[in-house]
Structure 1
Amino acid sequence: MAPRFDPESLRLDLSVADLLESPFLRSLGFSSRGGYERLWLGQAIHGRYQEQKLAEDPSYRREVVISHVLQHRGWTVTVQGRADGLRREPDGTLVVEEIKSVRRGGMLPPSVRESYQRQAMLYAWMLSHTEPNPVRAELVLIAIGSDETEREALEPDLKGLEVAVRRRLNSLIHAWEAEQRRAAERHAAAERLTFPYPETRPGQELILAAVETAIANREHLLLQATTGIGKTVAALFPALKYALAHDKRLFVLTAKNTQQEMATAVLNLLNREEAFRSLRLRAKAKMCANDQILCHEEYCRFAKDYGLKLATTGVLGRIYDSHAAIEPEHVFNAAREAEVCPFEVSLELSNRVQVTVCDYNYVFDPYVSLSGFAAGEDLSDVILVIDEVHNLVGRGRGYYSPELSSDTARKAAEVVGRWGEPIHIRIENLCLKLAALIDGIVADALEEGPPGERAVQWPLPEDQFWRLRPALDATFVDYLEYQRETRSFHPDDPFVELYFNFLRFLNGLMVSDAAFSHCVEFRRGDGKLKILCKDPSRFLGAVISRTHATIGLSATLSPPEFYTGLLGFEVGRTAFVEIANPFPAENRRVVIDPSVATTYRERPAN
């Protein structure tokens, strides 16, 4: 969690991670963002280790919440964290364990190891204030794929840690005080902010009032208004004014780049004083400065020593201070010059700016969303304005509708098997095994139907996929290690893509309920298994309900009950407003062209 300051009671709530210096929190590789922990391997490894220790040692406890309160410069500071493991030695010494999963046979980068060590010792420092016996820390490194364990005993310098913690608190408080001064300037700018045009168009006054009321009352709004009356500016003006005045973060979500450009243009109109910072996010593939997307410090100079270079070059502050409207090109050029990953820099900036313009995916896609939107994160300071919100229904379904194709599995087997090493043959066999599993399910489901292309709803044998998972996990890890050792990473690797699709499919099985259908399909010689999310409201609503307010804009939101339900808006907290079409009916011309076909197969011709 981010540090929480309460200036009225002079209370400051922190996590243990907040006490780590920022360079130690940032590295790019298999052990950090996008690495093994994101592959769900680390959690399983931790669980197996902890279960084993619970069985072996009666004193062992896992996932122990630790809290410590101290006074600093008039503030009451509460530090809280969760220790991976605690155990008691025969002499009474209390040992706190920090468990990490690491690459097999690989050396941890010094900055990463130091961050792990500091985290473990901070837990020991916290415990030392209430524990009468000696306290020490231990770093437990478990190799993925082999469960080989390295233990590093750490003797914390408690006085030195106390000094370091208070120095870090000084830094956090100074940064907060500086931000308070900037916030006061934004509050004043909000008072001066006026609508960017001398007159409003017909219908805009109603939009302004509806959005202002919804946000002030911490409610959601679905607003239907015809194209061309200026919905975007009429919604963004009151949303921005409130966000600046009340220290909220505004996210403008769109489905297309052209809509992002329009939103950015409106924000520029509203920021003539340069009172706030806006950021436009671009897709990762378009922000990669390397010759191939390979986010690991051993293979990409823009990932190497990422945290250290971020701290020493000052690139974040330089970008933030130089541009009121931060465009992808600004980030890319400055980050490339500083030799740090442009995409990661853009994500760092999204935590600093007041307004972020981005695709729906950065908020709602569970696999690529910003870390601040993860389950359980506090979004009470977030206002969402979603353009063309009716499109979010289809997007939401797509996020939770994975599929597996036997043809894709066979092609992965063919491509990787052609490379000829033992690991490649092992991958080939596994891919063919998966293809055979898919084909077998398709054959069972469609054996009684007519020949040709068909699709049916069919129960999927989940246990068969879970039995295949351990072999795929182990092979995937070995494959990454082989590629690391031989420096043979391939862009668009078919096995890597298949592996992630398989994990998404398993996740789809885990979250399936009455809102899902499991289907089997055979088309063009390819057997497919599909998980179809018919109603994404549970997942979209889990984000929307945590925000301060969410404003959905569209020209097509009828019937409102349909969209309110499928988008996950809370009925008692959501208003629907329809703006009457202000354009004169006599200006309309209706043209009927019977030559235009509406079937899907004719769409390219039209």
Structure 2
Amino acid sequence: MAEQVTISVRELVAYVYRGGSIDNRFRSSTALTEGTAIHQEVQSTYKENDKKETFLEYLYQEDGMDIKIQGRCDGILETKDGPVIDEIKSTARELDEITETTHPVYWAQAKGYAYMYAEQEGLEEIQVQLTYVQKKSKEKKRLRQKFSFQDLELFLKYTMKEYSSYARVLLHIREQKQKSVPDLSFPFSEYRKGQRKLAGSVYRTIEEKRNLFAQAPTGIGKTISTLFPAIKAMAVDQVDRIYYLTAKTVTRATAEEALGLMEDKGLSLRSVTLTAKDKICFKEETICQPDYCEFADGYYDKINGALTDILWNETRLTRSVIEAYARKHKVCPFEFSLDLTNVADVVIGDYNYIFDPRVSLKRLLPEYKKRTALLIDEAHNLVERAREMFSASIRMNDFAVIADIWHGAEHPLNKAASAIYKDLKNLSEQGEKDFVLEEIPGELEESLERFIETAEVELQESTEYDQSEELLELYFSVQNFLKIIPLADDHYRFTASKSGREFTLKLFCMDPSHVLEKTAKSFRSSVFFSATLSPFGYYKDMLGGKKDDYILKLPSPYDSSQIDVMVTPLSTRYKNREETAENLAHSLYQQVTENPGNHLFFFPSYHYLELVYNHFRNYEDITTIVQEQGMDEIRRDEFLAQFVSGGNLAGFAVLGGVFSEGVDLRGDRLNGVAVVGIGLAPRSFEKELIKEYFSNRGRNGYDYAYVYPGMNKVLQAGGRLIRSETDYGSIQLIDDRFLSPKYQSLFPEDWGNYRIKK
């Protein structure tokens, strides 16, 4: 039996007939919504016998390979001259600029449908029509051509010849995966305590199309215990792809290492790691235009060769591998990595590629999502990240700046920006400093929409890549605001904030659970896992969990004797910090002298860190290193590199910062941790809104807003210490509130045998 590849008509012709350069001069981001509405409007004018959204498919066979081509045709019109295939396209261009040679990909798509319909109906000839609709004027232009069946047959043969080499690469990849996945064994000689249970739960969850919330303490090996069973589940029908999502670069590297271990055991599949555009860009400035960037110039003429090359020769498509092939083929590394997600079996990247409504991967169509499993690492981080993703704000003075730049009283941009400034000025007079609005006024929403239309005209007419940054940034801020408005229900508050002459209006998402649940629902399965999903009910609630979701809470795989936990009942409250700082520094010094080696001390703020550090540095026999604000990746790596085995170093860092999560200092590289304070965020207007919101819903609002997120930072920082079966060390928890029942109920089991340090 021949091997089979399935591809849509749109994907097929885009692969074969695309050409040209990446040119990210401004384009309207309303195209997709408008395009759908325009399709529906044109289809509503069809006659009774005309067909719309007609599914067509055809099986192309060649040298032991079957390629199933399928797609949904916009329209099949019945005319006195025979059937007409109608392909509808919306455009921002003026219609008189469009000719029969303007869009070869569009014609190819329509001809693909025409061939399949003519072959199905036994037609000797058929007409093909492109219906263009101008987005603003809604005027229509129809271009029509007639093709014989022989013409279309030659067209299809040429198209398939151009595509077949790539199809063979896809079949080669699939064959390797299908052969290696069933025989794949766990890459270690034995499972750690709890590891088999976690792996089995993940496999069962994906097999049954369910969701899982798992707390797996540090040391179990969460990454391999989720990736391995998810890959094994690919042998189950309808599991094609895994997205491994995480908040930090270091945990993406751990996922890459896990795939390497399985590859050593015989696994052969393709994984791609996504890196942010500004980090992977080869140019000094991220300007995606052919006259500035040679990697954007001719991208679509070169990309097919690059894809075939890398997919045939590589398996783990990490940042360095992607960069090497991007330079070889002179293509943009960021767009290259996104194109690779269409083929990769495992995609490793940030949460936003799936959950952020503004930047999520639009190429992940609904039919692909149903065959995709999500593995969400460090899931505790997703709560606050989701709040940010689903919130949006606009600032009054930004509109004043635009009105000033386009200062002519009759200029449309001046009028549009001034109208919004006036609307926001009126809102600012409704309260003092921080307050809540009952609704977003309809006239403001209309003004924002007019601003978008006016800004689009100005930005599209600009041909320079030094377009007004102020206008471009404000355009996207307004666009984001308008995208979030339809999501804003009773999980939101409309907040207003005044600071001096500035006024900010925000759509504030207090409870992201409903949007997270809706997003996860479209995928086959989602596994939310972390070392610290405590308390369990809070995180399941906040991450959109449902009653029928699986839950798993595993004990630590390590012996509690590996950790010496001390509670120092010293007040770290803001009002007491000055008077207790010297005693606190002495307690830290005692920890270092009683347990020689490297230690990391975590503080709730840089200011508090500096206060205590100024006392601690009087102990000249201890080498110290201090986290700086705004450290880049190089400086962060240099900081961690100083924690060497056999050292005697005291590191001062910020709780909840880059060094309190995802850092893996094994063995003698870290011998002790101290956490100063209970991690409470300062009281704020937004935190108080969250507190009120959950209190009104029968939860403990104070705990939801302050205690649980704060304690999670404490648990994460403490988790830096014991990373393997051979690690030993001390944890000092400095705050008298750690002795209260509320906080002790949140301690992990292996912290239960703490001692009180006087």
TM range (shorter): 0.7 to 0.9
Tell me, in whole angstroms, the C-alpha distance in 1 between the residues paired with 2:343 and 2:380.
Answer: 29
- Aligned match of 1:17: 10
CA shift, 1:402, in A, is 0.8
| Residue number in structure 1 paired with 2:521 | 545
Give the letter aligned to residue 512 of structure 1. A
**Residue 380 (structure 1) aligned with residue 359 (structure 2):** no
Q: Which residue of 2 aligns with 1:604?
A: 606
Aligned residues: 574
Distance in 2, Cα, partners of 1:205 & 1:49: 51
Aligned partners of 2:180 and 2:267 also within 8 Å: no
How far apart are residue 429 of structure 1 and its match?
Answer: 4.1
Does the alignment pair 1:440 with 2:426? yes
- Mapped pair 1:389 → 2:369: no
Are 1:94 and 1:133, in contact at CA under 8 Å, matched by a contact in 2?
no
1:197 matched to 2:188? The reply is yes
Aligned partners of 2:303, 2:268: CA distance in 1, in Å?
A: 25
Which one of 466, 471, 477 corresponds to residue 456 of structure 2? 477
Among 103, 108, 121, which residue is 1:113 paired with? 103
Give the one of 480, 483, 486 matched to 1:510.
Answer: 486
Moved more, 11-20 or 219-228: 11-20
> Do the aligned partners of residues 75 and 531 (structure 1) sit closer, same or farther apart at CA in structure 2, a change above 3 Å counting?
same
In the alignment, which residue of structure 2 is the partner of 1:579? 554
- The answer as to 2:125 corresponding to 1:137 is no
Query: Which residue in the other structure is 1:66 paired with?
Result: 54
**Alpha-carbon distance in 2 for matches of 1:475, 1:423:** 15
Give yes or no for the alignment of 1:186 onto 2:165.
Answer: no
- Bigger mean CA offset, 152-161 vs 139-148: 139-148
Equivalent residue, structure 1, for 2:327: 336
- Cα-to-partner distance string for 1:68-120 (whole Å, 9 max, x where unaligned): 4556549795733232x666668777472532304359967999611122223
- Residue 244 of structure 2 corresponds to residue 252 of structure 1: yes
Match for residue 456 of structure 1? 436
Q: 1:126: how far off?
A: 4.8
Q: Does 1:560 align with 2:536?
A: yes
The alignment's TM-score, normalised by the length of structure 2, stands at 0.66
Distance in 2 of aligned mates of 1:278 and 1:424? 54
Q: Is the 8 A contact 1:42 1:100 kept in 2?
A: no
- Alignment match, 2:220: 229
Q: Residues 416 and 447 of structure 2 are in contact (CA less than 8 Å); yes or no, is this contact kept in structure 1?
A: no
1:448-478 Cα deviation digits (max 9, x unpaired): xxx5x22224211134312441x32332232
In the other structure, the counterpart of 1:325 is 316
Q: Cα 1:331–1:178, aligned 2, differ >3 Å: closer, same or farther?
A: closer
Answer whether contact 1:413 1:428 (CA < 8 A) is retained.
Answer: yes
CA contact (8 A) 2:34 2:135 kept: no
Higher relative contact order (CA 8 A, sep 6+): 1
Q: Residues 205 and 480 of structure 1: is their aligned pair in 2 closer, same or farther, counting only changes over 3 Å? A: same
For residues 480 and 371 of structure 1, do their structure 2 counterparts lie closer, same or farther at Cα, with a shift above 3 Å needed? same
Aligned CA distance change for structure 1 residues 353 and 113 (closer, same or farther; 3 Å): same
C-alpha displacement at 1:262, in angstroms? Answer: 1.9
Distance (whole Å) between structure 2 residues aligned to residue 465 and residue 379 of structure 1: 33
Match of 2:504 among 520, 528, 544: 528
- Quote the residue 1:4 is aligned against: none
Determine the structure 2 residue equivalent to 1:98: 88
Moved more, 234-243 or 149-158: 149-158
TM-superposed CA distance for 1:292, in Å, is 3.5
Deviation at 1:64, TM superposition (A): 1.7
Alignment partner of 2:348 out of 357, 362, 365 = 357
Report the AA paired with residue 203 of structure 1: G
How far apart, in 2, do the equivalents of 1:582 and 1:310 lie? 47
Structure 2 CA distance for partners of 1:166 and 1:535, relative to 1, 3 Å: farther
Return the offset for 1:215.
Answer: 3.0
- For 1:605, give the aligned amino acid: H
Alpha-carbon deviation of 1:140? 3.9
Deviation at 1:426, TM superposition (A): 4.2
Shift of 1:204: 2.3
SS of 1:384's equivalent in the other structure is: strand
Where 1:558 maps in the other structure, the secondary structure is coil
Aligned 8 A contact 2:22 2:298 in 1: no
Paired residues of 2:295 and 2:331 also in contact (CA < 8 A): yes
* Mapped contact 1:31–1:102 kept (Cα < 8 A): no
Could you say what secondary structure the match of 2:456 adopts? helix
Q: What letter matches 1:474 in structure 2?
A: E
SS of corresponding position for 2:506 = strand
User: Which residue identity is paired with 1:430?
Assistant: A
Letter in structure 1 aligned against 2:605: R
Identity, in percent, stands at 24
Deviation string for 1:254-307 (max 9, x for gaps)?
A: 101111122222222222246223221101122333443343556644333322
Q: State the Cα deviation string for residues 404-451 of structure 1 (Å, max 9, x = none).
A: 11123334445x44xx8x7995434432332221221222x31xxxx5
Residue in 2 that maps onto 1:3:
none
Structure-2 separation of matches of 1:291 and 1:30:
17
For the 8 Å contact 1:95–1:136, the answer to whether it is kept is yes
**For the aligned residues, what is the CA RMSD?**
3.9
> Which stretch has the larger CA shift, 359-368 or 403-412?
403-412
Q: 2:261 aligns with which of 266, 269, 294?
A: 269
When Rg is computed on C-alpha atoms for both structures, the one with the higher figure is 2
| 1:79 counterpart = 2:70 | yes
Deviation (angstroms), 1:552: 1.4
Matches within 5 A, 1:154-165: 154-165=145-156
Q: TM-score, normalised by structure 1?
A: 0.81
| Matched position secondary structure for 2:505 | strand
Q: 1:206-245 residue pairs with structure 2 within 5 A?
A: 206-243=197-234
State the SS of the aligned residue for 2:567: coil
Deviations along 1:108-157, one digit per CA (max 9) or x if unpaired, are: 79996111222233444455565989753333445555666654333334
- Measured at CA, do residues 212 and 14 of structure 1 come closer, stay the same or move farther in structure 2, by a change above 3 Å? closer
Deviations 1:151-187 (A, max 9, x none): 4333334322133335545777786666455434334
Q: Which residue is equivalent to 2:278?
A: 285
Is the 1:31–1:103 contact (alpha carbons within 8 Å) kept by the matching residues of 2?
Answer: no
SS of residue matched to 2:108: helix
C-alpha separation in 1, matches of 2:346 and 2:38? 42
For 2:50 and 2:294, how far apart are their aligned partners in 1?
38
Shift of 1:26: 6.2
Specify whether residues 518 and 383 from structure 1 end up closer, same or farther in structure 2 by C-alpha distance, changes over 3 A only. Answer: same
Relative distance call for 1:338 and 1:442 in structure 2 (3 A) is same
Aligned residue among 466, 469, 487 for 1:489: 466
Query: Post-superposition shift, 1:355?
Result: 1.7
**Contact 2:372/2:524 (CA < 8 Å) preserved in 1?**
yes
Deviation digits for residues 282-340 of structure 1 (CA, Å, limit 9, x no counterpart):
011223334433435566443333222213xx212222344332222322242234222
Q: Tell me if structure 1 keeps the 8 A contact 2:207–2:236.
A: no
Q: Assess if the C-alpha contact under 8 Å between 1:67 and 1:80 holds in 2.
A: yes
The one-letter code matched in structure 1 to 2:250 is T
Segments of structure 2 that go 5 or more residues without pairing to the other structure are: 576-602, 609-758
CA shift in 2, pair 1:571/1:176, >3 Å: farther
* Alpha-carbon distance, 1:597 to partner: 4.6
Alignment of 1:42-57 (within 5 A): 43-44=33-34, 47=37, 51=41
Q: Do the aligned partners of 1:520 and 1:527 also contact (CA within 8 Å) in 2?
A: yes
Q: Secondary structure at the match of 1:308?
A: helix
Query: What is the DSSP-based 3-state SS (H/G/I as helix, E as strand, rest coil) of the residue aligned with 1:196?
Result: coil
